[in-house]
Amino acid sequence: MKRVPDTEARLKIAGDGASIDPAGVKFILNPYDEFALEAALKHKESAGAGEVTAITVGTAEAAEALRTALAMGADQAVLLKSNGAVEGLAVAQAIAAELREADFDLALFGMKAIDDDLQAVGPMVAELLELPSATAVTEFSVLSGAVTAQRATEAGIEIIEVKMPCVLTVTKGAYEPRYASLKGIMAAKKKPVTEKEAAIGDAGARDTSLSYPPERKPGRIVGQGTDAVPELVRLLREEARVL
Amino acid sequence: MPGVFAFIEVREGQLRPISLEVLAAARQVADAQGDEVHALILGGAGSSAAAAQVGAHGADRIFVGESEALNRYSNEAYATIASEFIKDHGCRVAIFPPSSLGKDLAPRITARTGGGFAPDCTALEVNGGKLVVTRPRYAGKVISRMELTGEPAVVTIRANIFTPKEAAGAGEVQILEVSLDTADFGAVVKEIRASAAAKLDVGEASIIVSGGRGLREPENFRMLEELAEALGGAVGASRAVVDAGWRPHAEQVGQTGKTVSPQLYFAIGISGAVQHLAGMRTSRYIVAINKDPEAPIFKIADYGIVGDLFEIVPKLTEEVRKLRG
C-alpha cells in the first residue's frame, strides 16, 4: 500500500529541487493499491478463511495508507519504517525481507503507483524471493494451489497459470474497490499495526532534479462546426506537420 | 567491446515496431559511450527471421534464442537468459520496450542483476560514466532527471520518442543455445485471447483518436474507428465510456488506463477530466472536438473545433481520406 498525492493535487517542487513539497497536498491511497486490496479481500471472502495483511514502506505519514486499508477490511498492517521517501528496488528489498519471514499464498501489489509511475516493485519482489509472478492482472481465481489470472497485453487477454505462493500486480478490471464503511473505519482503530525498521538497501537510482514540463503553447479554436475542418487539416499538415 | 543491451520483442516471428525504437535508443547510448549495440531476440521457431531488420537498424551484434519454450513469454525464462546475457556481455546499459512484456521483464532483471531502474525514459545521456535519464513523474506533472548509480542501468523507453534509423552495417547474427523446459516454470501462459485491440495498441500508436461520453452511444464509436483507420491510428477511450462498458479497458487513456504520448491525439466528445489529462498531456499535438466551448480539454488542446462531433468527424474522415488518396 502506498500513500500518494491525489490525482487532482497541484504539485510544487520543494526547495531541494529533487522532491515534491508536501505542504497543502491532499494524499490518498494509491488507486492501483485499492484494486490489489479489493482483490485480496474478495479472495479471502470467497475462500472463507485467511487473513489480509497490508504492508507499506515509509515514514509515519505513510501509515495513513494502512489506516485506509484496515478500514476497507484488511485484518492487520505492517509499517516498515524509513527515514525518508524510498522507491523502486529499495522498497522491493524491504518488502522482500519482510515476506521472507512470512507465511503467505499471495502477495498482491497495485500494478503501479501514480506518484513515481515506476511499475516495478511487484516483479522486483517476485525476483528477490524467487517466486513466480504475473503483472497487470485484471482478474484471477484460485484452484488447488495455483492462480489462473487474466493479463491485459497488446496481443489480447493472456490467461496465465501461476503456482502459489506467487506475486500478482493488479490493475483495473474485476476489482472495483469498496468504500470504507463507518463501521469499518471504527473497527480499523482497534486493528493491530506493527512497526518495524525497514531493511532499506540501495535503490540504484535517484532523482537528481525535478522540473515542470514545458507549458503547452496556448491553443486556439480553429472554428465552429464542419466549416473549420479543412482549416484544421491544413494546420495539421502545414503547421504541425503530423499528417 | 562491451555492449549496450537492446531487447528485441518479436511476436510470432514478426518484429514488433517498438523494437526499432529500442534500437534507436541503444544506438544513441552506444555511440555516446563508445560501445556496441548487442541485440537479443527471444522467441519461438522462426524468430531469427527478424534479425536482418534488427541489423539494418543499428545493432552491431544480434543474438537469437529460439525455442518452443520461448514462444510464449515467460518472465522466468526470459529474465534468466537476458540477465546472464547482460552479465556475460558486460552491458552497463540495458534497454527494454515499454510494452506489457518490457514492463514485466525489466524490473525482474534489475532485481536479479542488482542494477538501477528507470522506466518511460524520454531522453538518455551518459554523464561521468553513468546513465542520466529524463522521465515524467506524477503522470507528467513533473519531469525528473534521474541518475542511475546501479549497474547495469535498466530502462524502458517511452514510445514515439526515439525515432528508428536505418544503419549501414548488417550486424553479425549468432544463434544462442537454449535448453529450457516449460515444466520448470512457476508461471505458464495457457492461452492468448486475441482482441480487436491487438491490431494497433493505443500505448504505441503515433496517432490516437479518443472518444468520450459525447459519443452518446457505443455504436457511434464506429465513426472514430473510421477516422482512426483513415489516419493509420488507434482508437482510445475515456474512463467514462470504459466504465460504461462501451469500450474495452485496453483502450482506456488516463489514470487507471494507459499513458500515451503520440504525435497526434484527438479528444472527441471528451471534456478533459484531470484523470484523462494524466494519460495524454505529453502528446505532441492535441486536437479537441467538443460542443462545449468551456470544456477543459480546450485549455490543453493545440487546435480545437467547437461544434457537433456527429457532423465534424465524418467530414474530417473525408478530408483525411482525400489527403491520403
What is the pLDDT at residue A215?
A: 84
**Residue A232 forms part of a structural domain:** no
Q: Say how far apart CA A50 and CA A35 lie, in whole Å.
A: 19
Residue of A nearest to B320 (CA): A233
Q: What Rg value do the Cα atoms of chain B yield, rounded?
A: 21
- Summarised one tens digit per residue, pLDDT across range A121-149 is 999 999 999 999 999 999 999 998 999 99
Whether A218 maps to a domain, the answer reads: no
CA gap B54, B42 in Å, rounded: 13
Residue B25 to residue B57: CA distance in whole angstroms: 11
Which pLDDT does position B194 carry in this prediction? 80
What topology does CATH give the domain B3-184?
Rossmann fold (3.40.50)
Would the CA dihedral through B257, B121, A12, A90 be positive or negative? positive
A235 within domain boundaries: no
A7 touches chain B (CB under 8 A): yes
Which residue in A105, A108, A120 sits closest to A39, CA to CA?
A108
User: Range of A61's domain?
Assistant: 3-197
Q: How many domains is chain A built from?
A: 1
Do B100 and B106 contact (CB within 8 A), yes or no? no
Q: Is residue A216 part of a domain?
A: no
Alpha carbon distances (Å) from B262 to A40, A150, B22, B205, B259: 35, 27, 16, 6, 10
Asked if A228 and B259 come within 8 Å (Cβ–Cβ), the reply is no
pLDDT of B233 > 60? The answer is yes
What's the pLDDT score for residue B197?
Answer: 47
What is the rounded average pLDDT for all residues in chain B?
94
Lowest mean pLDDT among A76-80, B212-216, B256-260: B256-260
Angle CA B57–A117–A169, to nearest 5: 95
A115 touching B (Cβ < 8 Å): yes
Q: In chain A, which residue's Cα lies nearest the Cα of B256?
A: A172
Strand pairing class (A156-163; A106-110): unpaired
Q: How far is B169 from chain A (nearest CA, A)?
A: 30
Average pLDDT in chain A: 95
The tens digit of pLDDT for each residue in A82-99 reads: 998 899 999 999 999 999
- Give residue A219's pLDDT: 87
pLDDT tens per residue, range B29-53: 999 999 999 999 999 999 999 999 9
Q: Which residues of A touch B299 (CB under 8 A)?
A: 219
Q: Which residue has the cell 474497490?
A: A177
Q: How confident is the model at residue B180 (pLDDT cuts 50, 70, 90)?
A: confident
Q: With a cut of 60, say whether residue B196 has pLDDT above it.
A: no
**B268-286 per-position pLDDT tens digit:** 999 999 999 999 998 999 9
Question: How far, in Å, CA of A71 to CA of B299, rounded?
Answer: 38
Strands B10-11 and B14-15: antiparallel
In this chain, the answer to whether the domains covering B3-184 and B196-324 adopt an identical fold is yes
CATH number (domain holding residue A84): 3.40.50.620
User: Could you say which residues from 35 to 74 on chain A have a Cβ atom under 8 Å away from some Cβ of chain B?
Assistant: none
B96, pLDDT greater than 80: yes
Decide which of B127 and A84 is more confident: B127
Task: Give buried/exposed letters for A180-190 (b at 16+ CB in 10 A, else e).
Answer: beeebeeebee
Which residue ranges make up each domain of chain B? Answer: 3-184, 196-324
- pLDDT, tens digit, 9 for 90 and up, residues A117-127: 999 999 999 99
Q: What are phi and psi of B60, to 5 degrees?
A: -80, -40
On chain A, the residues whose CB falls within 8 A of the CB of B204 are: 154
List, for residues A152-165, the tens digit of each pLDDT value.
898 889 999 999 99
Pick from B5, B53, B1: which is nearest to B29 by CA? B5
Percent of chain B with pLDDT over 70: 98
User: Which CATH number applies to B196-324: 2.60.40.10, 3.40.50.1220, 1.10.10.10, 3.40.50.1820?
Assistant: 3.40.50.1220
Tens-place pLDDT, residues A216-233: 888 899 999 999 999 999
Chain A (133-172) residues lying within 8 Å, Cβ to Cβ, of chain B: 133-136, 138, 148, 151-163, 166, 171-172
> Is residue A136, in this structure, part of any structural domain at all?
yes
From CA B166, how far away is CA A218, in angstroms rounded?
36
**pLDDT, greater one: A156 or A40:** A40
For chain B, give the secondary structure using H, E and C.
CCEEEEEECEECCEECCHHHHHHHHHHHHHHHHCCEEEEEEEECCCHHHHHHHHHCCCCCEEEEEECHHHCCCCHHHHHHHHHHHHHHCCCCEEEECCCHHHHHHHHHHHHHHCCEEEEEECEEEEECCEEEEEEEEHHHCEEEEEEECCCCEEEEECCCCCCCCCCCCCCEEEEECCCCCHHHCCEEEEEEEECHHHCCCCCCCCEEEEECHHHCCHHHHHHHHHHHHHHCCEEEECHHHHHCCCCCHHHEECCCCECCCCCEEEEECCCCCHHHHHHHCCCCEEEEEECCCCCCHHHHCCEEEECCHHHHHHHHHHHHHHHHC
